[in-house]
Structure 1
Amino acid sequence: MMMISIRLPFEKKKLMVPKGYFAVYVGEVEKKRFVIPLSFLNQPSFQQLLSMAEEEFGFTHPMGGLTIPCTQDTFIHLTSLLHAQTQ
């Protein structure tokens, strides 16, 4: 049996998400991609962000992935707190 290897372009590799994580887009004007642990989905403060995203975007997100409607600074602050809680 012959194995065929397909190399992904650099851009595709960059967009891959490790197992146990998911990507979100955050920002008011310019969206930045963040890769965060799936465990955040269980946190009430993160669930609140998801509710905000649902209210603003419904289930159609402009970036093609989950978009969180808050500033990047707010998101970084929240995820820093969540990382500290899960350690």
Structure 2
Amino acid sequence: MAIRMPRIIQVKKTLRRSFSNGSNTTTSMDIPKGYFAVYVGEQEKKRFVVPVSLLSQPMFQELLHLAEEEFGYNHPMGGLTIPCSEDIFINLASHLGAL
């Protein structure tokens, strides 16, 4: 399976991202209607704002199940934290047509 680089660049531009380190944080007011925030990453967590339509996708539900297994309902970032790499999340979101 080949990955086309222009698509990944487009995906990264489409996903709204903000760092959760305090210097560039956003509030819940910055999330448009029909979207929600998730924190993704293995070491440094990055915040992504994605459409709620992802919630009904079986592949995304698998990620939610992994998050439940790892964190339960106590997410350390104060929001939904997904335990996967940023690249995997971007590829999944792109595959699901969320971007």
Q: If the length of structure 2 is used for normalisation, what is the TM-score?
A: 0.70
The answer to whether 1:80 aligns with 2:94 is yes
Q: Which of 14-23 and 74-83 deviates more?
A: 14-23
The answer to whether 1:67 aligns with 2:81 is yes
Q: How does 1:3-82 map to 2 (within 5 A)?
A: 12=26, 16-82=30-96
Q: Which runs of 5+ in 2 are unaligned?
A: 1-23
Q: Deviations over 1:4-57 (max 9, x none)?
A: xxxxxx955686210000000000000000000001000000000000000000
Aligned residues: 76
Q: Equivalents in 1 of 2:38, 2:85: separation in Å? A: 13
Q: Which runs of 5+ in 1 are unaligned?
A: 1-9
Q: If the length of structure 1 is used for normalisation, what is the TM-score?
A: 0.79
SS at match of 2:42: coil
Residue 6 of structure 1 corresponds to none
Q: Which runs of 4+ in 1 moved over 3 A?
A: 10-15
Q: Equivalents in 2 of 1:15, 1:26: separation in Å? A: 20
Greater gyration radius: 1
